[in-house]
Every structure is written in structure tokens, then in C-alpha cells.
Amino acid sequence: MSRLTIEASTPLCLLQDAGRFGVRHLGVTQGGAADWCSMSWANWLLGNNLDATVIEITLGGFAVVAEEECWLALAGADLGARIDGQPLAPWRSFKLGKGQTLQLTQPLLGARSYLAAPGGFDAPKVLGSSATVVREELGGLDGTGLPLAKGATLSYRGESLLLREVPSALRPDLKANAPLDLVLGAQIGQFSGQSLFDVFNTAWTLDSRADRMGIRLLGSVLHYQGQPMISEGIPLGAVQVPPDGQPIVLLNDRQTIGGYPRLGALTPLALARLAQCLPGDRVRFTPVMQERAWHDHINYLKSYL
Amino acid sequence: MNPMIEVVALDCLMLRLFDDIAEANMPWMLAASERLRAVFGEQLIDLVPSYTTLMVHYDLTVLSPNQARQLIAEALIDLSPNARRSGQCHVLPVWYDVSVGPELRLLAERSGLALEEVIRRHSGREYQVFALGFAPGFAFMGLVEEILAAPRLNTPRKKVAAGSVGIAERQTAAYPVVSPGGWNLIGRTPAKLFDRNRDGYSLMQPGDTVRFEAVSHAEFINLGGDDTPLEAQA
């Protein structure tokens, strides 16, 4: 077993995996890494299962000291990672010598970075997952939904001697400003014509009101003209429009059912990109057919093979 | 019933069975739920039932959207309502008191009924569990008598105590854990509504029936209830 001690942390540093499944009908949310692509790459670098337990570090403020020599991997946002003060680029596995400190300071590019360990970090499975959901008091180091705290010990039991990088052609481009793919939902036709034009032809600015439940977008006011809705299941990436006309994209910790009308849902790939955006960033949407988006997704999964 | 299959996400389809909330929906919803679980088998990731819909989240690495749509259509062939009462019947003890249910008085004023009569009517009915959502183990139940119906609070409370029993429109529910909430609170139950160590985790499941039973303060405490007034917890 290899151990690390947490020297610095924030409420946004959380143990995550792919999330909880098979329990949504009980009102239990999904949880899990908001940028599943980067989580998968961090695990890929060490030869782990792609959904092994990782640490999601949002915006930085995290530091660990290795109690033994550790092999780790970092993927996702560039949060100014350093080993004993020396810069460490993301998208690679690396060795952290006994007594060395790995520090993630501040967002230089993107918002969320994923730290993986061989075989995944040790954490109890609660309802099938170690994903930390603070609101539901589920997951994390002791299973009760607490964020990682200073002084806590992380451990892992796997072994890996892989030192490699994610090939640059396969790395998600965090600077890309291509529009986000939106699978159109059943209420799309009940927004006004002007609203439909605005959805796909204007830019949307990320509000500071953003967390793992959802990200509010600011822009043109959208008008829903249909009947009030009865609450129904909410998929990952749903773009709902409350009465104020400003869309909210629902992320991993969303409520399981809700009654606001929806434009549709972002594809998982688009959602992973949105999860790397910061308040003030601007995004655009483009409509995509479900079948086409499915083909794109299946093709993308092949890049991990 | 006029079933419709709608696209909701890359790997989710919505089966819409009804247009309105009704107790009569439940036997159909339960039957559809059973069928969907059977036809999808291992390829079902999650099934999210609500009042009138069932959201099917399937394994997109195995099924294309078209294949998933066909499976849902298959599940609907010769569907008949699940007539046998498969659900459990729960009795939830409730201490109805203004210190833990501040809107008890408001509901009495709105309805023109005495406090005791509001309690008698709320506890005098058997409710169905329509859906679980909002929080783990939070069961949306109904329908409460029209005279007790009340809109959600204009400003939701930041903190509602665990076990709080409330009314919103013609629905009633109990909060499993401390959470924000905008329902009209009328009492508190000592029942543990969600327990990760319990088989099935949630005390109540869609299709179950629930009756609230008024208990005294002493009984509430004996059953492990926490009588801290709501204001003191805020």
C-alpha cells in the first residue's frame, strides 16, 4: 500500500469515479467526475479501469506529500501543478518520490484536474460508487460525502510503472471554441421562434452561479410557450429553462426529477468540455441528432483502447 | 393512455404514458416499469419513474438509440395494468405540532378548519407513492384532500429538519435528511426514510401506500424523534 498525506485542500477537491447507477429511482443523484473524458485519461495513463476512483480538483488549492514513493497521473485542466516547486505538465503519469510535494495552485487552462493512482484511490463503495456527493452525504474517503480535508491520508494498493503521456492528438482541447452539441428534447418546439434562433445563434456566458449540480448561462431571454410540466426524470446534461428564461445545464449532482421545460441535453462529450469552462467564458450550442451524436460518442470511446 | 417515446438525451429516452397526475396511473406505471426492466435487462442503467413518465437510461455502448426505442416499444406490447397491490403499506408516525410544523396554523386558516381537523384529515387518508426524487428517499405522495392543498412557500427555507412532513399543492412528503425546502410543514416523523444499510435503501418505493398516524410528543420522543423546534435549527 502507498500513502499520501493531504497538505492543502478545498471543498472543491473530491474523490470521484463515474458515479452511482441503478439507484436513480430512489432519488439518488449520479455524482461522478464532471469531466469524464479527463478522468478516463488520468486512469488510462496508469493502465487502470477508466472509472477507477480519482481526485477531482477544481480550481486548485490542493497539495499532497508522498509518504512512500508513489506513481500518479494527472489529466484535465492545467492548474499550475508543481512537484517541490518544479512545474509538472498535465496529461502524463509521473513518480512522486518519498517526501516530495505535489501542489496544484490555480487555473491556468480549464477548471478541473484529475489525479489518478494505480488501481484507484482507496475509498468505500457506497451504493456502488465512491463518488462524493456532499448534499446527499454519500461517498468520499469515509463514505459520508465529505470533501477531502487537510491532514487526511490517501492510499492505493495497485501497481503501475507506466510513465507515459496522452498523445497530443487525443488530448481534449481545452481551448477549443467549437459549439457544444445539444440533442434536441421533446419541448424544443414549444419555445418561441425567436428563442430557437437565439439558442443556436448567440453566445451564452457562464454565470458565477455554477456548481456540480448545474451551470447557469446568461444571454438572451428564452420564452417557453407550452403547458406547465409535471416533474420527470432529468438526464445528465439536460438544458432546462426556468421562468426567468436563462438556461441551466444540469451536471452530475443534479436533482433526479424536475419540472422545468428543456431545450434538450448536451452530449456527454460536450458536457465534459463545458465542465472545463470558467465563469465568464462564452459557449455556443449546435443541434445534433441523437443517432449522429451516438456514433461520435462510440468513436471517441475507441481512443482509450 | 397514449404512450409516446421521446428523446431526452444521447443515451436516454422518455416513455410518456399519461398527461395528468392521477392515482389510477399507478397500476400502469408499475406494469410498464416491470416490463422495461425485463426487456432491457443488463442494458438498463437506470429507470427513473415519475408521475406520468418513465425515463430509460440505457447502456449506449451496447444499444443504439434505435435499438433502445424498439425495446421500449416491445415492452408496451399487450401491456396491462398491474392490478395486484404489489406495494407495501407503511404507517408513518407523525408528531403534528406548530413548533416543528409551522404551517399547520396557515393551513388551518386557509381551509377554515380547526388545527385538529387539519391533522385528522391529513392522517385520515391512504396515500400513494408516485415517485422518489429531490433527495434520496424523498417520496412524492398524494393526493391530499383539496381543502388542504396549498402552494409552496414563496421563499423556500434554507434548512428543513430531517423527518419534516409537508404539503405542496395536493402532494405530501417527508424530508429524509436536512435540506432546503419550500413545502408547508405540518409535523415531523421519527421514521428513518433513507438508510444506506437497509436492503433497498429507501423506506418507500413507488407504488407503495402510506398512512400518517398522529402520535403524542411522548411517543414521538420514544420512537427516537428529535423535537428541536424548526427555528432553533435554522
Looking at residue B170, which CATH number applies to its domain? 2.40.100.10
Whether residue A238 and residue B9 make contact (CB cut-off 8 A), yes or no, is: yes
Task: Tell me if B20 is assigned to some domain.
Answer: yes
Looking at residue B45, which CATH number applies to its domain? 3.30.1360.40
- Here the cell at position A271 is 458536457
B118/B173 same-domain check: yes
Distance CA A103, CA A66 (A): 11
Distance CA A268, CA A274 (A): 10
Residues 83-122 of chain B with CB under 8 A from chain A are none
Please give the pLDDT value at position B84: 66
Distance CA B210, CA B225 (A): 19
Please give the pLDDT value at position B162: 95
What are the counts of helices (DSSP H) followed by strands (DSSP E) for chain B?
6, 13
**Cα dihedral B223→B117→B139→B160 (10° resolution):** -70
| pTM for the whole structure | 0.93
Give per-residue pLDDT as tens, A107-159. Answer: 999 999 999 999 999 999 999 999 999 999 999 999 999 999 999 999 999 99
CB-nearest to B9 from A127, A137, A235 is A235
Catalogue all structural domains in chain A, each as residue range(s) with its CATH number: 2-170 (no CATH), 180-304 (2.40.100.10)
Mean pLDDT to the nearest integer, A185-213: 96
Q: For chain A, say whether B14 makes contact (Cβ under 8 Å).
A: yes
- The domain of B136 spans 89-223
B103/B163 same-domain check: yes
Task: Tell me if B233 is assigned to some domain.
Answer: no
Q: Which residue has the higher pLDDT, B22 or A193?
A: A193
End-to-end CA distance of chain A: 28
Q: How far is B32 from chain A (nearest CA, A)?
A: 14
Give per-residue pLDDT as tens, A51-107. Answer: 999 999 999 999 999 999 999 999 999 999 999 999 999 899 999 999 999 999 999
Contact between A28 and A20 (Cβ < 8 Å): yes
B135/B62 same-domain check: no
Distance CA A15, CA A3 (A): 15
Task: Tell me if B231 is assigned to some domain.
Answer: no
B148/B187 same-domain check: yes
B197/B112 same-domain check: yes
- Here the cell at position A206 is 457562464
Contact between A117 and A96 (Cβ < 8 Å): no
Mean pLDDT to the nearest integer, A270-292: 97
- Please compute Rg for chain A using Cα positions: 19
Q: Dihedral of CA A54/A60/A64/A69: which sign?
A: positive
B156/B46 same-domain check: no
Q: Which residues of A touch B65 (CB under 8 A)?
A: 290-291, 294
Please give the pLDDT value at position B234: 47
B62/B106 same-domain check: no
Whether residue A235 and residue B52 make contact (CB cut-off 8 A), yes or no, is: no
pLDDT above 90 as % of chain A? 94
Among B76, B102, B118, residue at a domain's last position: B76
B60/B124 same-domain check: no
Task: Tell me if B48 is assigned to some domain.
Answer: yes
B69/B99 same-domain check: no
What is the β-pairing status of strands A101-104 and A82-83? antiparallel
Q: ipTM of this model?
A: 0.96
pLDDT string in tens for chain B (234-residue length): 889 999 999 999 999 999 998 889 999 999 999 999 999 999 999 999 999 999 999 999 999 999 999 999 999 999 999 876 668 999 999 999 999 999 999 999 999 999 999 999 999 999 999 999 989 999 999 999 999 999 989 888 989 999 999 999 999 999 999 888 899 999 999 999 999 888 889 999 988 999 999 999 999 999 999 999 987 654
B32/B127 same-domain check: no
CB pairs under 8 A between A and B: 141
Among B13, B41, B76, residue at a domain's last position: B76
Mean pLDDT to the nearest integer, A9-24: 98
Please give the pLDDT value at position B232: 66
Task: Tell me if B234 is assigned to some domain.
Answer: no
B70/B94 same-domain check: no
Residues 149-208 of chain B with CB under 8 A from chain A are 177, 179, 194, 196, 201-202, 205-206
Task: Tell me if B11 is assigned to some domain.
Answer: yes
Instruction: Give me the count of residues in chain B.
Output: 234
Task: Tell me if B57 is assigned to some domain.
Answer: yes
Distance CA A94, CA A83 (A): 10
Count of domains forming chain B: 2
The burial class, CB within 10 Å (0-12 / 13-18 / 19+), for A142 is: exposed
B58/B93 same-domain check: no
Task: Tell me if B13 is assigned to some domain.
Answer: yes
Among B45, B76, B107, residue at a domain's last position: B76
Distance CA A129, CA B45 (A): 14
Interface test with A, best of B10, B53, B204 (most A CBs within 10 A): B10
